[in-house]
Amino acid sequence: MTRVQAILTLDMENIPENFLEIIKHEQEVVAKWKEEGILENLFLRQERNGAVLIFNDIDEEKVKELMTTLPLYKLKKSVEYFNLIKQF
């Protein structure tokens, strides 16, 4: 079963005043993905400067498309994508 991991790093130097509102919208989007079964896991980074998202059974191009719809995507410093094969 294939997975795509997306590692989002935020530009913490340029956080807007409405950051908490953006977070609320972000949570709504990822909750919808989880409900739809396309998001397997979401991990906040310990440094609180981004997140790691594990997508389920969709290809990297679709993940890249979905990531651009995240409210926090506009605040990105970088995004890295890794194709994974789940072993167990």
Q: 71 exposed, middle or buried (CB, 10 Å; 0-12, 13-18, 19+)? A: middle
Which pLDDT belongs to residue 88?
85
List the domain range (segments joined by +) for residue 64.
2-85
pTM, 2 dp: 0.92
State the CATH number of the domain containing residue 64: 3.30.70.1060
Average pLDDT value for residue range 26-45: 97
Structural domains in the chain (count): 1
Which pLDDT belongs to residue 86?
85
What is the residue-averaged pLDDT of the chain?
95
Which pLDDT belongs to residue 83?
97
